[in-house]
Amino acid sequence: MQNNWLALCPVTTAQQKVTAATDLAAQKNQTVIVDAYNEQIAKIVGNIPQSEIDTWPTQKEEALAYVVDNNADVPFIQNLATERSMALSELVPRILQKAAMYRDASSKALGQKHAAEDAL
């Protein structure tokens, strides 16, 4: 009866300990990688609120539509332009330039994250 507790505990072999330690190290490394990536993205977007970031796809989509046809229905960016007392022809290039800058910077950061994960 004194060894009944053994039946309740999983037997841990040396290999299981090594595997567990390796898994723990990988999880810690993954956390470090994700944290570094999140820091890079935070530097890219700065203090722009998430509610504004959420509009970027709409802004880009409408800006591209305007480039194709300057009579296109672009209500979101038309409102932006109106509130800023700016012509769409002035706003659209700004939107597309910023979209390209974000794409380039964020894709570089994401590529670095994936490379670090591949190295795990």
Find all residues with CB under 8 Å of 45, minimum gap 6, and list them. Answer: 53, 102
How confident is the model at residue 3, as a pLDDT?
56
How confident is the model at residue 8, as a pLDDT?
59
pLDDT(69) > 80: yes
Torsion of CA 8, 11, 17, 20, to 10 degrees: -50
pLDDT in tens, 75-115: 999 999 999 999 999 999 999 999 999 999 999 999 999 99
Domain ranges (residues) in the chain: 13-118
The pTM score is 0.77
**Interior CA angle at 10 toward 8 and 11, to 5°?**
125
